[in-house]
Structure 1
Amino acid sequence: MNPLNDPIVVYLRAMLGARIARLRDADEEERSRGASAIEWAIITAILALIAITIGAVIQKKIQDKANSINTG
């Protein structure tokens, strides 16, 4: 019993083959749209990283200030 002959695997291989064929035949405009999507994803990831870093720095400063308050 070969798992590669399973109907789901056969279907997925056929779908993947069709997508690869479409990508190979795609014109330059479609390829540049894909490149733009990747660029936007990278820019978004960088901005999210910056926002998380700024949030962590602010939280650390607030925590340090709160710990330095004398309650006695």
Structure 2
Amino acid sequence: MMQHRIILQFLVSLVGLHYERARAKERGASAVEWVIITAIIVGIVALIGFTLRNAITNRAERVGGEIEGS
């Protein structure tokens, strides 16, 4: 009877270990997904910022040219 209990405890520990490893892998995958999502968002924000900067610079140059021309 004692031997069955030891075997049962071993199996429970083994299943628990596999469960924790699986959860750790999910956390790792989740972290990678968040890094990718963050990189995409940073890229989009940079693109929008670059576009706005160019638009503002072009407008400012046009206004400056009109002021000098008058």
Normalised to the residue count of structure 1, the TM-score between the two structures is 0.62
Unmatched 5+ residue regions in structure 2? 1-17
Bigger proportion of residues as helix? 2
Task: Identify which of structures 1 and 2 has the higher relative contact order when contacts are C-alpha pairs closer than 8 Å and 6+ apart.
Answer: 1
Moved >3 Å (runs of 4+): none
Cα distance in structure 2, aligned partners of 1:71 and 1:59: 21
Structure 1: unaligned runs, 5 residues or longer: 1-24
How many percent of aligned residue pairs carry the same amino acid? 35
Shift of 1:71: 1.7
Superposed CA offset, 1:1-46 (max 9, x none): xxxxxxxxxxxxxxxxxxxxxxxx8611100100000000000000
1:71 aligns with 2:54: no
Q: Which has the larger radius of gyration?
A: 2
* 3-state SS of paired residue (1:66): helix
